[in-house]
Amino acid sequence: MGVPMLKRTVLLVLLAFGAPPAFAEGVKGVILDEPSPIAPFTLVDQAGEPFTLEQLKGRWSLIFLGFTHCPDVCPFTLANLGAVRGELSQLVTPEKLPQIVFLAVDPDRDRAVLADYVAHFDLAFVGVTGDRRDIDGLTTSLDGYYSLKKRGEHDKAYDVVHSAAVAFVTPEGSIRAKITPPFQPYNTAAYLYRLMREADPD
């Protein structure tokens, strides 16, 4: 048995018996006592198709908010999430893999480049944006924040300050936990997998 398969087997045994695996130590996460429902919203994805609360139902999701002109936190976190999802693919079947959703909070600059931006990290990633009211509504549901730091009406090179936590959303559309980057992919996958198993032992 190769080393990666051995690690996976040990992890599955530990999680199956409810033992807190050492592999999940060091994950900066907060598990909510009760899942927090996300309020209805209407956004559009990178293909221009509607993206609503219904698109969060039926599977787990990891939602991160940011902006496409972000120089560091956003690209690092999206790449980091891709690595976590890769580790999770060793633990669950493809249909149970969480979808990665990037909420782009700067639609004036994000909308035109969103498809290329998320595809750079993974073709399976979903980028969503929309009207300010709906962006704000989902941001509030995620207990997140952002602020456009424009210096004037014609400023096109402004920064956006935003929260960095990633929401782990249940197939019912409620927040189960929040995790903060940077993520150690293997440990974070173990952490998320355990939450998924607790919610659905099958």
Binding-site annotation: residue ranges for Cu cation: 70, 74, 162
Residue 79 to residue 121: CA distance in whole angstroms: 6
Three-state secondary structure call for residue 53:
helix
Q: Which helix H or strand E contains 32, and what residues bound it?
A: strand 29-37
Binding residues, by number, are: 70, 74, 162
The 10 Å Cβ neighbour count of residue 61 is 22
Residue with tokens 């974070």: 188
DSSP state of 173: S
Instruction: Decide: residue 36, CB within 10 A, 0-12 exposed, 13-18 middle, 19+ buried.
Output: middle
First to last CA, the chain: 26
Tokens linked to 159: 């920064």
Residue 202 to residue 192: CA distance in whole angstroms: 15
Cis? peptide before 107, omega within 30° of 0: no
Instruction: Decide: residue 157, CB within 10 A, 0-12 exposed, 13-18 middle, 19+ buried.
Output: exposed
